[in-house]
Structure 1
């Protein structure tokens, strides 16, 4: 062999190793649709579906007295109509994002909206309480599946420059929807039309929403392969856990909380299952919730602040309603202006606050704290409540809250979502909406308990002060006796009637003082949230196109 050939021929030991075959790259994700009139119509359809789900919830709560009368139900039986609906409504929020990824947002939204409409159409025709309760459970599942779709759609389809406005549209469901869907709509339907329209009002809105979603949203493929890693343990622990906890919160005040074996079993059983659910979600490869997101300070802060802010919103709606009904004797249609003055301006306030938060120089944490300060100021005005207040006395408080509620909710949404990637959208949507639902249930239970306990305390103190015997009644003086004496045939009954009058006055004054106490407590809640958001969240910036986005500090 030629020496030159030996030098140029590669040696067996130094032959290049064969290049291993590379795995086929995954298919590129579908190109995001261009935002235009068609996609905007689809987003409007999802927003309408979420609003009508809220209307269905709040109008039936406000009109529960008429529904009970139509079905010949007592008070205790009627409370289960709302308790079961709320339980399944909140539970569905936890699992709907997984279903939207599996079956597509468009299919799930159309199916659930159609189911809500059909069940609303047949609800007044139910023959008995059992069938009505079953219907409300299924309708709660359908209604609860819709709110997560709105946040998911806003995070996925909106261009970066207007994504904050999409969060503002979602905020409508927390500010505009509950205040419009309570006393205003309920009062109109059963004052002028009839109680069945408390259910039927959503049917035409469902049809409009389904058409908008079907035409406007793009269709994703069905991904049935996700069932191979379906989180069965999460479903079997999470669904009953959430339902048990919500029912305990809804029925707790009526059954005197832990003095009731039912409430005790629901709380401890639901709490145990919920702990198992959280542990399972931490380790499952395809969870319903990505619990690891709570490691991010902004997500934890947003969820905590959201729960407290929703309690503030419940007080905003509950206290004026209770006071005007119990002290002034108003009907829902007469309370409607108090709610409308808070709800209607939100349509303008939310876009304005969204535009403010979309300015890069504006820190949404400062917007949140300013909103908390304004909310606290409105509650300070509420501490001056007395038995002479009428509907117009609440207007100044409500106008302050027109500004404060959008500032709080939009800032919270930005803190929760701006630091996350696209793949985290369904997870944060489920966590955010389930927190929202649970917070509403907790707020309802806490406010009912506070109102009742403080009213009992003040009533006892007032009656102890004035007394119920003849000697204490002398503190009313001769004018009171002179007023009653001509109307009482038997002078021996004068002391009894003075006692009844005193008890009625004491009960009314006790309720007024209880309302003032709750406003004072809410000032403390605002102060605590202000301090929390001074130290916990990190600054986030409004989204921009990738080429212009600067790193966050």
Structure 2
């Protein structure tokens, strides 16, 4: 039994690890004892962890969508205001790398409650910040506190859920990754249109109180493991945190600062990449890593992480394009795009558990469920690529409806592939790698959409202007009429935006096709957690 694994395990986990590591193969293959039942008290605690993860997602999404109102209320310029989101996201993503280690050390119960309280406290203080630097500091601290919450959910799901309902717990995690972001626009519209911009920060308080009560009453009291602090991986922490934060800053500020033409962006990308390589090397050889890179030798785990990165880029892009088109072409506000978000969000409450129920059937192959979900994504992008300037909200309903089935098929299947076969002792490593990659991919998707969108908009604008000039469509009369020139410029700009959005749909389709091509190649057949893997299955599936 390695020292690294023994550090990560609790009293019960150590027994599991000892069984798998020290007993002979035949003895380890004996039938498992009768499955434990999920008590009502523990179910309350697990619901509390689900709410904690949802709280973190809502806090992130609502403040991002309401940022223009926040900037206006606090008289913050656009450039300075972008840093409010960037600094929050950088701290949020970087913290997810290390949160599972601290969660095990200070116990999941205490650590999660402390992070929820801190997230609420910093949110309450944000509207009262006396100046911009103090608001930046509060956003960074809130990003750190919020980044501690989502990784805890996977850990408790792997540790406490009985095998027969484990997939439903993973569907709950998928709910925070799909349902939570979809609620961002409706809630931001609700607070800014009918209440106050301050509610974008304060909305988490009631949910946070309920979360703390549920976790306190439901989760068991594990002993503190403060002795782990003596073996803290300082080299990994001091290298990894700035590495991830710098890369996130580079992607989120890249489009505004013209990417590598900016000295700051060059420093963020080059410095972040060098530090990230050093961090991964450190994690490979360190006896107590935050990332257990050896898990990547498992085909399903490495495929799951690869597909996760592409799926997050795909989901972020497909969700952002309609709102971006309606806002820039038809001047829709968040309140007017809310029906599109709700059309996806509310049915997910039904389709996610249904997808988990289907995948929990032994005869269902999760690989083809994922493939079907990706095909629906491709169909969405293909239909969106034919959009015109006449498209309004109603034209996107069919596209959004496909996401109701597509998103659960992809996300739950990925979670099943990543977590199946993982013992509770490896839960913290899987959670750190999964959550940090998910949130980092979201930052990459944002930068990709902004950067590619800007480049394609400029390209189409230049092409349209050249065509107008070459075909002599601008008559002397229109040149003399200021209104005519203004109207023509508006139409060129509008058409460039439409063509740009269609191009983004095509790029997202290419991402989905690439992920679809990996399905029959990389992953191996896996079975629901409640079943026993047949002897004929490849060893890499375990």
TM-score (norm 2): 0.91
Partner of 1:29: 12
Instruction: Please list the CA deviations of residues 309-343 of structure 1 after superposition, one character each: whole Å capped at 9, or x if unmatched.
Output: 11111112211111111101111100100111011
CA distance in 1, matches of 2:119, 2:197: 18
CA distance in 2, matches of 1:414, 1:524: 24
**1:529 pairs with 2:532:** no
CA RMSD in angstroms comes to 1.8
Rg larger for: 1
The answer to whether the Cα contact below 8 Å between 1:33 and 1:157 also exists between their aligned partners in 2 is no
Q: Return the match for 1:517 from 503, 528, 531.
A: 503
The answer to whether the Cα contact below 8 Å between 2:318 and 2:505 also exists between their aligned partners in 1 is no
Partner of 1:441: 443
Instruction: Please list the CA deviations of residues 222-254 of structure 1 after superposition, one character each: whole Å capped at 9, or x if unmatched.
Output: 011112221000000001111111111110010
The answer to whether the Cα contact below 8 Å between 2:366 and 2:413 also exists between their aligned partners in 1 is yes
CA distance in 2, matches of 1:403, 1:95: 33
CA distance in 2, matches of 1:367, 1:328: 37
Deviation at 1:550, TM superposition (A): 4.0
Partner of 1:129: 132
CA distance in 2, matches of 1:419, 1:209: 29
**1:39 pairs with 2:22:** no
The answer to whether the Cα contact below 8 Å between 2:157 and 2:166 also exists between their aligned partners in 1 is yes
CA distance in 2, matches of 1:145, 1:33: 29
Partner of 1:102: 105
Instruction: Please list the CA deviations of residues 39-64 of structure 1 after superposition, one character each: whole Å capped at 9, or x if unmatched.
Output: 11111111111111111111111111
The answer to whether the Cα contact below 8 Å between 1:306 and 1:412 also exists between their aligned partners in 2 is yes
Q: Secondary structure at the match of 1:427?
A: helix
Instruction: Please list the CA deviations of residues 256-301 of structure 1 after superposition, one character each: whole Å capped at 9, or x if unmatched.
Output: 0000000001111111111111001001111111011111111111
The correspondence of residues 76-475 of structure 1 with structure 2, limited to 5 A, is 76-181=79-184, 183-467=185-469, 471-474=472-475
CA distance in 2, matches of 1:506, 1:340: 32
Instruction: Point out where structure 1 has 5 or more consecutive residues left out of the alignment.
Output: 1-25, 482-492
Partner of 2:527: 541
Instruction: Please list the CA deviations of residues 377-422 of structure 1 after superposition, one character each: whole Å capped at 9, or x if unmatched.
Output: 1111101210111101101001101100000000000111103222
CA distance in 1, matches of 2:291, 2:506: 36
CA distance in 2, matches of 1:228, 1:180: 42
CA distance in 1, matches of 2:217, 2:90: 32
CA distance in 2, matches of 1:157, 1:112: 21
Q: Aligned residues, how many? A: 509
CA distance in 2, matches of 1:438, 1:53: 15
Instruction: Point out where structure 2 has 5 or more consecutive residues left out of the alignment.
Output: 1-8, 16-34
The answer to whether the Cα contact below 8 Å between 1:113 and 1:143 also exists between their aligned partners in 2 is yes
